[in-house]
């Protein structure tokens, strides 16, 4: 039995976890990447570069060479249309069964399983479900597996949702599936010490998982020894320069952190980056993070209006706590990144000026700015649909992955000034401190601030620390696949 994952470019902890579980069950695994250069749904789309650097034919040839018995896609809403197109092509060319897993199929399994090109849907965690499915198919046994939806004689068979897995019982991530064929994925080591989140913000994937698993403990930590064991093996085998913790909130368990970080410093000793919840950060924790080697932290602000942050986003965070976290981290010398979302329901120009003013007074090293995008099944989307903010056809489009093309590029917005505010927030960390408030107060200049997508990308590329996981991998991925495409053209011409 051979399972092949077809993926659209970025390193995926989910695929690595599933591959490890499959291999433990005796199932061979492989990976094929369609890099989608300049055509990344949910991020950016540049028509002409995307056409020139299209590598789909090469990916299809690689996929045929793999000769899989089962083809798997890790699907989120932004890549759902891409996954459907590939599933249809793969079914036609290879004739193998297809399984979709991930947050989008988990959010709207009925919609996904209704597609002719999708044979199975994994709802929720797949660490035990996918190996069971692969082995059942290999044995030609009936498919009746928790977390797996299947089709038989026109009927949909829905596997019950199994309780969340104990994380320390799982295998370490299978990095070979990415690193062996695509070496540019090396450099920094991607890991998560937990799954889920103690919060369930209304716009987030964890809003879906919290309702799916209810009170059955979806937010879980791995034991410190389990995490350190994986990192020790990683240091020996891969020799990473730094570590990136992908946990939704790295600091939500203070006791765990106080146990883990001193051991990490002693046993691993690599610089690391992470995401934190600002309200849970104090001076002691900030010093602990810095002392253990933390060089970069990212935290969510989203909006300055505390009422909207709580009522609309279900995010119980206070401006004073956020300001304190930014100032603490900057004083410790930790590179600090803040997230903001523009275009929230009910947002006014004054709200945006308040947000810019806040950042002028408490300025991070970098602002990550996004336009609001609705995702299926989240509390935010359901509320917007019920209140008429999303028309029925728009809500249906969300479920089909047909919303706005990008979260950093959103044409046709109802507030033209949003582009100006987007650029203003990006530029504030680059402006000398004495000029920031003056720039915010001159709001009439907003219409002159460029909204060019290239500027938005360049601010991310230029304003970053030496070790930056996502941006560094982005650069290496584009460099690798662009070179691959150019070499292919040169060979044809010669």
Q: Where are the domains of the chain?
A: 2-158, 187-463
Residue 98: pLDDT above 50? Answer: yes
Report the pLDDT averaged over residues 414-438.
Answer: 84
Q: What is the pLDDT of residue 457?
A: 72
H-only helix segments in 69-204: 80-94, 103-107, 109-113, 129-138, 176-179
Average confidence score pLDDT of the chain = 91
417: pLDDT strictly greater than 80: no
User: pLDDT per residue over 296-351, tens digit each?
Assistant: 999 999 999 999 999 999 999 999 999 999 999 999 999 999 999 999 999 998 99
Could you report the per-residue pLDDT of 101-132, keeping only the tens digit for each? 999 999 999 999 999 999 999 999 999 999 99
Mean pLDDT of 77-104: 95
pLDDT at 450 over 80: no
Averaged pLDDT, 179-195: 92
Task: Give the whole-number percent of the chain exceeding pLDDT 70.
Answer: 93
Structural tokens at position 492: 């044809």
- pLDDT value of residue 494: 39
**187-463 topology per CATH:** pyruvate-formate lyase- activating enzyme (3.80.30)
- Cβ neighbours of residue 296 under 8 Å, at least 6 residues apart? 273, 274, 334, 335, 336, 337, 465, 467, 468
259 pLDDT exceeds 50?
yes
Q: pTM for this one?
A: 0.94
Whole-number pLDDT of residue 464:
80
Count of helices and strands (H, E) across the chain:
21, 17
**Alpha-carbon span 403 to 488, nearest angstrom:** 34
Judge whether 2-158 and 187-463 match in fold: no
- The pLDDT value recorded for residue 466 is 81
Position 404 confidence tier, pLDDT thresholds 50, 70, 90: low
How buried is residue 46: exposed, middle or buried, by Cβ count under 10 Å (0-12/13-18/19+)?
Answer: middle
More confident of the two residues 450 and 467:
467
3-class SS of residue 4:
strand
Which among 6, 9, 1 has a CA at the least distance from the CA of 117? 6
Q: How confident is the model at residue 414 (pLDDT cuts 50, 70, 90)?
A: very low
Q: What is the pLDDT of residue 461?
A: 72
**Digit-coded pLDDT (tens) for 38-58:** 998 777 788 899 999 999 999
CA quadruple 365, 369, 375, 380: dihedral positive or negative?
positive
Q: How confident is the model at residue 223 (pLDDT cuts 50, 70, 90)?
A: very high
Question: Residue with structure tokens 């090109």?
Answer: 117
pLDDT recorded at residue 330: 95
Q: Taking residues 78-98, what's their average pLDDT?
A: 95
Question: What fold, for 2-158?
Answer: Rossmann fold (3.40.50)
- Local structure of residue 250 (DSSP, 8 states): T
Are the CB atoms for 82 and 45 separated by under 8 Å? no
DSSP 100-129: EESHHHHH-HHHHHTSTT--EEE-S--TTH
Which pLDDT score is estimated for 217? 75
> What pLDDT does residue 202 have?
95
93 pLDDT more than 70: yes
Give the range among 76-80, 355-359, 376-380, 420-424 with minimum mean pLDDT: 420-424
């Amino acid at each position: 039995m051979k399972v092949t994952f077809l993926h659209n470019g970025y390193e995926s902890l989910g695929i690595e976890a599933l591959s490890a579980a499959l291999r433990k069950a005796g199932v061979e695994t492989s990976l094929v990447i369609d890099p989608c250069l300049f055509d990344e749904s949910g991020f950016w789309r540049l028509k002409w570069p995307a056409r020139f650097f299209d590598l789909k034919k090469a990916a299809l040839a690689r996929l045929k060479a793999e000769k899989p018995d089962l083809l798997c896609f890790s699907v989120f809403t932004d890549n759902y249309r891409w996954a459907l197109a590939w599933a249809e092509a793969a079914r036609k060319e290879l004739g193998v069964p297809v399984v979709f897993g991930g947050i989008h199929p988990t959010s709207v399994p009925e919609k996904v399983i209704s597609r002719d090109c999708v044979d199975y849907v994994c709802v929720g965690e797949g660490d035990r479900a996918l190996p069971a499915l692969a082995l059942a198919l290999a044995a030609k046994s009936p498919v009746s597996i928790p977390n797996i939806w299947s089709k038989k004689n026109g009927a949909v068979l829905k596997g019950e949702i199994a309780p969340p897995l104990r994380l320390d019982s799982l295998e370490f991530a299978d990095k070979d599936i990415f690193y062996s064929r695509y070496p540019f994925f090396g450099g920094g080591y991607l890991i998560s010490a937990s799954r889920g989140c103690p919060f369930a913000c209304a716009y987030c994937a964890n809003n879906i998982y919290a309702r799916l698993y209810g009170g059955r403990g979806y937010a879980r930590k791995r034991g410190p020894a389990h995490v350190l064991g994986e990192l020790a093996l990683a240091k020996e085998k891969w020799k990473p320069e730094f570590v990136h913790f992908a946990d939704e909130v790295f600091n939500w368990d203070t006791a765990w952190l106080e146990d883990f970080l001193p051991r990490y410093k002693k046993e691993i000793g690599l610089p690391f980056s992470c995401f934190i919840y600002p309200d849970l950060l104090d001076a002691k924790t900030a010093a602990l993070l810095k002392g253990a080697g933390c060089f970069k932290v990212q935290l969510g602000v989203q909006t300055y209006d505390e009422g909207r942050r709580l009522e609309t986003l279900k995010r119980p965070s206070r401006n004073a706590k956020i300001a304190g976290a930014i100032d603490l981290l900057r004083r410790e010398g930790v590179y600090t990144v803040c997230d903001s979302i523009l275009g929230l329901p009910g947002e006014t120009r004054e709200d945006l000026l308040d947000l810019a003013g806040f950042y002028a007074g408490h300025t991070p090293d970098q602002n990550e700015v996004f336009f609001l995008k609705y995702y299926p099944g989240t509390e935010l989307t359901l509320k917007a649909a019920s209140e008429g903010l999303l028309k029925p056809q728009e809500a249906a489009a969300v479920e089909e992955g047909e919303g706005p093309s990008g979260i950093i590029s959103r044409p046709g917005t109802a507030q033209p000034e949003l582009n100006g505010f987007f650029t203003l927030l990006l530029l504030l960390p680059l402006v000398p401190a004495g000029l920031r408030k003056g720039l915010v107060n001159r709001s009439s200049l907003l219409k002159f601030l460029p909204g060019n997508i290239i500027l938005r990308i360049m601010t991310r590329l230029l304003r970053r620390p030496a070790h930056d996981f996502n941006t560094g991998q982005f650069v290496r991925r584009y460099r690798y696949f662009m070179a691959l495409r150019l070499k292919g053209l040169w060979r044809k011409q010669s």
